[in-house]
Structures are given as structure tokens and as C-alpha cells.
Amino acid sequence: MAFERLTNRVGWIPGGVNTGVIRLDDRRVVVIDPGLNETSGKRVIKTVREELGSEIVAIVTTHAHADHFGANAAVVKRTGAEVYAPAVDEMILRFPLLQPAMLFGGSDPLDALRIGFLLADASPVDHVVSGSTFAIDGVEIAVVPLWGHSARQVGYVVDRVLFAADVLLPETALAKYPIPYVFSLSDHQASLDSLASIGFDVAVPGHGSSMIDLATRHGANQDAIDRVADAIIDAIITPSQQADIMAQVVERLGAIIIDAPAYYLVQPTIGAFLSHLEREGRLQHEITGGRSLWRRR
């Protein structure tokens, strides 16, 4: 990991999950999303100490997915940093079993879903982020709603640098995961549509390289959404259950599902698409003969 400076105050540490860095002064920094686990957290601490000569005094979380906040507990243990997290998502930081439980339909999740990628160590939450701005020791951080990938994912803007979380995935990820996870497609689509109105010069996404060319990555992500939506519509020839629709969409798009975590990330994503397509008037939901069915309008 190596720190990359973007402005006098702001930079980032590239990694499997990109970590934002905001300098409060010559000795103290705020980090955004320190990563998945203890190893990630130790690397971020080491980078901050060795390359910036600073200590982490606060962690700002974009959303409640384990790969972004799983290192929080390790960083807090070693630095005493305070944790900031967006409303609603902050509950999952404190009670991380909620995430695999949500994926498993709201019930006690399979042991196969109780893994590091889906079940992080619990993180304290000292401050719930609400409103359009907040400040840490006089440094103002703008809050940008980027809901959809998680219930209340947000981005943060400092010195015209946008830390964009997972609203835009890199093309490599879209190729590997042709059905990218969303909690709410309706909210995610609204977030995508809002990006052009956010004032920033460079964006640091949660994954992949930093980007100035927003249009290219935006187009790739929009295309991925459209492909999944079209595959769902094409799969519904007669009234169909969600599991049957999902099986056809997975086959059509060449998604690879070989274990429970992969299955239970795709299943609720298909559900999010179905809800959105019903709101758009393209699908109709009904309960018939004790079965949940979807049909084209």
C-alpha cells in the first residue's frame, strides 16, 4: 500500500478496497473505509504512520458492507479512533449479523454465509452521519446520498475529491460479476443519475483506480443494469417465480454461482430488480395458489 496525494489535504491508499485519507493537521488523519479485516487495518495504520508520520483519529464509513468496514475494529483497537457511519447502515456495523441475515431473507443465516466477506467483526459507532455536512476538528466533509448499493450508502466530498463508495464499479468487476449486488435498484438508479450534479474534480471509487472520466465508468455501470433488467423481462414468458427467473437470468448472463455466498448475493439483487421493474410498470406481482408470481404487464 502506498499513499497517493490528490490535494494538500486529501489522498488515498489503493487496495482491494480503496481507503481515503483526510489530513486534519501534520500529525492526525481521518481514514475512509479501512478495508475488510485486521490485515487490511494494520496495513492502513502502517501506511499512515510511515508515509505521513501521522495517527488515525477517526474512521468515516461509506456503507455497511464487510469489505469496507471489517477493519474498523482492528483500527479502533490500535489507535482509539472514533467511528462515523451513515444512519441505517450504522446498525449493521454494530450488529454485523444483520447483513447475512438480510441476504438470507431476514432469517437466521446459513453457516456458509457467516464468513469474513459477509460477516465482519462488529464496529463501534461513535457518530451517526446525517445531514449534508459534518466536521471533524474544523475540517468540513460534505455528505452525498448514494443509496442503493446498500440501504443508505453515502459518498463524501472534501476539497472537490469525491469518495464514491460502490456506486460505480470498475469494468473488471462488472465482467466478473455480471449481476452486481444492489439492495435497492430504484435508489441505485437515482444515485447514478445524480452523479453529474455533484461538484468534484476527481472521484475515488471503492474499488479500482481513481477516475476523472466519470462518463466511461457511468456508462459501463448503466449498461450492466440494463442487461440484467432486459434478461429478467425476457425470462418471463409465462407467470414465473423468482427462483425460476433467477435461474434463467444467471444462465443468459453467464454468471457463475458455485456456492451459497454467490447465490445469496444474486438472489436479493434479482428481487431488487423485480421491485423496480414493477414500480416502472413493466412487471406485475401476484400471489396465486400460494405462490409468488411475476408476469409482464
Domains defined along the chain, listed by start: 4-213 (3.60.15.10), 225-296 (1.10.10.10)
pLDDT at position 214 is 77
List the beta strands (DSSP E) in the chain.
4-5, 10-13, 19-23, 28-32, 55-60, 82-86, 127-129, 133-136, 139-145, 154-158, 161-165, 202-205, 283-288, 291-296
Residue 241: pLDDT over 90: yes
Lowest mean pLDDT among 14-23, 156-165, 213-222, 229-238: 213-222
- Cα separations in angstroms, 70 against 39, 102, 145, 263: 10, 17, 22, 22
pLDDT at position 209 is 85
pLDDT in tens, 58-115: 999 999 999 999 999 999 999 999 999 999 999 999 999 999 999 999 999 999 999 9
Indicate the residue type of 63. H
pLDDT in tens, 143-192: 999 999 999 999 999 999 999 999 999 999 999 999 999 999 999 999 99
Helix (H, G, I), strand (E, B) or coil at 88: coil
Over residues 200-207, the mean pLDDT reads 94
